[in-house]
Copies of this chain bind each other. A is one copy, B any other.
Amino acid sequence: MTPPNDRFVSETDFAVRYAETDAMGVVHHASYLVYFEEGRSHYMRHLGRDYSLIEKSGLRLPVTEIGVRFAGSLTYGERVRIHTWVADSRSRAIKFAYEVSSMQSEEILVTGFTQHMWTDLNGKVCRAPDELQDLLTQPPA
């Protein structure tokens, strides 16, 4: 799941929170979905299109499918780094891909994707405006 060469890839990093760890001493696996969401939010903010703006425009982007693979783990005291890109974009659906590593090493620890569909406020599937589709898939100038 390496990002294609022509694809905009956003990078963000932040500290592991103690509340995200579990009794095994590492970040709980469910927290990575929140990290993915943080990566996705950062991706959109970077393009000047915060998800809250999308919501205000009457569109929603609920998750329809998730896949995650765990090759390693993070502990408190480390910084999380996430690379996020659009793996696929269609008129009614969009797929984000993620790579999570620790700032302290180059090793990729967790990879995954989230598949979303565009809906209106009533949850009915709809077509995303072309300009929004373009914005989300084209690198910032």
Contacts and interface: CB of A to CB of B under 8 A. Distances in A.
Interface of A: 14-15, 17-19, 21-26, 28-31, 33-34, 37-38, 41-42, 45, 50-53, 55, 60, 62-70, 73, 75-77, 112
Contact of A34 (B19, B45, B75): B19
Number of copies: 4
B77 A70 contact: no
A124 to B, nearest CB: 13
Given A75-B52, A76-B52, A21 B22 contact: yes
B18 A28 contact: yes
A37 B23 contact: no
A18 B70 contact: no
Contact of A19 (B14, B26, B30, B45): B30
Given A23-B76, A52-B77, 14 more contacts: A15-B38, A17-B38, A18-B28, A18-B37, A22-B23, A29-B33, A29-B66, A30-B31, A50-B77, A51-B76, A62-B70, A64-B70, A67-B67, A67-B68
